[in-house]
Every structure is written in structure tokens, then in C-alpha cells.
Structure 1
């Protein structure tokens, strides 16, 4: 009998500590719909014990929140399903993942502020980590989906989402929901295009029924871009959008420039000094309520083009071309929005960039030519 009991305990411990095998989509209990037993909840929400939430380990002040939970005059809403977790001061959630060493992955999760005006989220997969600021809210319902990428250094890794905040109320902190992952495949050059991933088809996982897109953070927050081959420069994120919930000019995915001149979409390519090149791309709107006069800018070498686009919110687009002379062995191709734009509800938005292609003309020139089609 003692041996049988010991065997059961060992099996339970092994199951608890086992790493979940990664497949594209939600992590095991990534939406937190499988909750702790009521005996492990203090005052109805505070999680007691580090292993109370199935498939997760918790540390610090963690609450298990049901959609509609009231916090003073605030009604907490869960974006998907009925449950989420809230991370108080220095609280964290952890899940062990079985991955392929050397492979690249993008984590996607949804988060919302509940108290503080300047919350941040730490995310890490040892030995890499990043800090995702939440000062700017891009989603009209108060939620945003964030992406963060890492390169697996081991066969088993620990994904940790941590609230580093120190608030007067220790319970204040972000709500976390719908944690997912996707394997990233580094894009290669295709015939007729010197840009990699020019159609933005390779990127982070889109949560089912998440109609607000996925934020891709600036490179200062992420050593590996969730948008392979592209870097996000400056301080603001860009929004990754899909054809299932938005209008995109080409294919299934595109990028919405929601940070004005505070964010830039950048790719560096090999060029031959003295040769000319033609950059073509599409500029449009995502049919997400962002209307008005927009201007998208493109830079390459010493040439620039500003592409005006008037959005009526129908998801249209136009094409533009920039020809430039390379003066270095490597040239940066840059896209950004000239202005900030807001929807009627006050959330940030902007022009969409898609179908970017770069081809050599192999003709020497001294200036840049630009035109819209």
C-alpha cells in the first residue's frame, strides 16, 4: 500500500513538473478556463499555493478573475472566455515548455491594465527577457495582444510572465489571458524580391476571434523580432493585422503603423553602391474605423517618398514606388506614418503597409525618383 501511494505521488509530481510540448496555438490551459479548486481561492479570487492553477506555477499575489468581476467602480472584462489571471506586485506565472533547441518562437498573449497608469510586463525565456510597456492602450475595449520572440537555447524552457510593479495596492496589476505560441520560420529570399517576408505572412500567432490584432514591440524590448526579417525601431509598437479580422491589401497579413513617427518598420538589405533599385509597396487602411487623410513614408538610401492616402474605412489601398541609388553595401528600407491617427473611440491607428518588394535596376544614377501608381 505504501509503495502504491508513493508511486501515485511520484506520478502526480512528474505530471505537474512536466514540460508541455509546444504546438502552434494556445498553451496548455493558456486561456485559464481550467481554474483552481475553490479551496485554493482566498476571498473568492486570491490563488493559494503555487500549483493551484492547472498547467501553471504561480508566485506572489495572483488572482483568478471571472469576467464581470467588480473592482470598486470598475467592471473587469475578460477578452476571451470567462476567466483570466491578475498579477499583483512582483507576481508571476510560469509554464515549462518542450521546444526545439535553436528554433525561434513568438509568444502572443492578451493583457489589460486594471489600476496603475504606467504598468509594464516582464516576459522571459531564460536567458532572454523583455519589458513590454502598457502606457499606451491600442485596443478599443481596453485589451491589447502583445507578441514577443525568443530563440530556444535548451530543449526545455520556462516561460515567465511577471509584473514588476510596486503599487500602493498590492493587488493592482495587469490582467493576463490567452497565452499562445507559434514557431517562427526564418524567411528566405524569393525570386523577384530582395526583401525577406515582404508580404508579412510570417509572424506571431493570432488569437482566435481576437479582432484587435497583435502588437509587435520595438527592438529595444525584444532581441528577436516576432516579425521575422523586420525590425521595429524607436519607442512605439506596430500592429500586426490579419485578413480574418481586417482588410489587407495582399495575402493574409499586413502591418498597421499605429505609432506615427515614434515607430518605424525597418529591414536592412545588401546593395551594390552605384546601382539603382526600385521599392514598391501597398498603402491602405485596415477597415478598422481609422478614417481621414493619412501619409505613409518610405526611405531607402538618400531617397524618400510620402504617399498620401485618404481612408474612408472601407479597406482600400493604393500602390507606390520609390527608386533610389545605393551608396553603401547595406541599405535600410524604412516605413513609417507621418502623423498620428485616432479612431472615434480615441485609440491609435494608422496606414497599413503590405506587399513590399525590392528589385535591382542595375543602372547608375545620382538621385532618387519617386511616384505613386
Structure 2
């Protein structure tokens, strides 16, 4: 049986998760600024979010299973230190090749956010796993939502390079706190690391509920990335022509998701994850339907984003609780399989956003996301 986290441990994990995962999104409002500074087409710099998600996927495949083998304090501190190094490399990048490589590394290190969620669920008191995961998910949602606002504001104030260095310092502070406060004991031995990696693919064949969790989660994350990347690009261009800070302000609409996550954890522990996931995905679909009506009315755009984000974050917290509960002793491996597929499909959504927006416009892009969400809702009830 896992030892409980020390006092304040779950809160620290939430902060670590939020500040780490924020680095996958903080540069998005400044993509046009980065493209102009490096004198390359926006289509090239538009690959930065995809590189971050691809790196995160690699981190989930290769690093998340380490939660079944290493002490939480050492593992979390090491990854946050690596994140700081990658962000420093990105901040000094002379061209797009180095920037993309740095974001691959930063994305991999940012997978510590998933490790934090896994540690919180594994070390929660009996019957409170959903609440522990939801608290960390709240930290992640705050990081994702506020990252665009912070990234845009810091870019306007300091430039995009210094903005990245600010995030690097935050990562180092998190590493120092993790070494001091997180558990120092290793999980019970369950074979070697390489054996753990080889055993990952068969887990999908063994667990039908894992397959359903993977399919539904991947669909709503595809929709989430499709909407947010296309939204940033659409608002930056005519007729809106908004700057990085103005685009980043729309992320505040997603604070509704942050507010509902503690309730999500309690509902998941009481009623089970499937009921929570179904309601959350349908709410996200309703928000996307609002966004499909256009971006000309700011309050409608803000409301649509609020409901979309709340639904996706609530569904993700409940889904991760479902995955961890399949086998808590192997939760790192199970979460690895889940999140590799989740972020792979999400990266496809990020990569498809600009081409879809250019070819078909904003309403069709939003309707594509809506179709993915409705399919996810249908699969949840199987």
C-alpha cells in the first residue's frame, strides 16, 4: 500500500503540474511575433505547439512509467530541472530548427504534469483517489488557461525570449520544492524498466475499459487543441487582428473549468467516472457549438470557451481516475498507454488546425471539433 502524501503534498503536485504543462501553451499567443523575429513563415512557427505535444507524448511513453520505479521527489525534481534547461535553449534559439528541437525536449519534460497526477492518485487515502487527481487536474487547468494570458503579457512586456526564461526559473523553484517535500521512498519493485516498457502495448488488449478511456479521451483532446490553436490564429488575423495579450485574455474564460474540478473529484468518487465523463463531454460539445456561430461577439466566444474548457477538464480528471483505478500498482504504465494515445491524437488536432482554418474557415473548423466531441460522448456510454 502506498504511503500518503505529506501535508501540502497534493497542492505542491498541483502547482508543479500547472507550471510545467503551461509551457506547452504559453508561446501560442506570440506565434506571429516569434515568426517575425526569426524571419520565417507563420506555418513553420505554427509547428511549435505540435513539437511540444509530440515531446509530451514521448515523455508519457518513456518517462511516465518511471512513477512505478522511482521515488517521487527525485523523479519530479529531475524532470523540472530538464524542463528549465530546455526552456533556456528555446530562449536562446537562433532559428526555427533549434526552437523546435528545444520544444520537443520541453514537451517531454513537461510530462511531469502527468506524473504529478499519477502520484496524487496513488498516494491518496482510500476512496479519495478521484479527489486527489481532480486537485492536480485543477492545477493543470489553471496552468493551461493562464499560460496563454501570462505568455502573451510577458511577451508584450519583456519579449518572447525573456518570457521563456521566466518560466525556466519557475521550473527550477519547483524542482527545489519537490526534492524537499515529496515522498522519498521508491514504489515496490515490479521488474525492470525495460520490461515495463515492453509490457505497455499488451495493456490495451488486456483492459477493455482502458481502450474505451483511450478512445474517448483522445477525441475530446483533439477537439480541444483544434479549437484553441485555430482560435489563436483566427483572432490574430483580419478582421479581428488582436495582439498576443488580447488573445491571451480569452483564456480567462476557461476559469470555469478550474472552478468545477474540485466538484468533479467529489462527484467521481460518489457516482463513478462514466456518469461524470458523459455529462462533461456533452457540455464541451455545447460550448463548441456556440463557438461555431462565429467569433464576432466576444461574450459568445468567451462563453463557448468557458463551457468547452470546463467540460474537457472535468472529463479528463474523471477519465484519469478511471485509468488509475484499473490497477493502482501499475498506474504509471496504464496512464502511460492512455496519455500516449491521448496526446498523439491531440497533436494531430494541433497540426490540423491551421490547414483546416485556411481551407474551410473558422465555422467548419469548430464543427469538426464538435463532431469529435459527440463521438466521444457516444463511446462513453458503451
TM-score interval w.r.t. the shorter chain?
A: under 0.3
Which of the pair is proportionally richer in strand?
Answer: 1
Which of the pair is proportionally richer in helix?
Answer: 2
Given the two structures, how large is their TM-score scaled by the length of structure 1? 0.26
Higher relative contact order (CA 8 A, sep 6+): 2
Q: Which of these two proteins has the greater Rg computed from alpha carbons?
A: 1
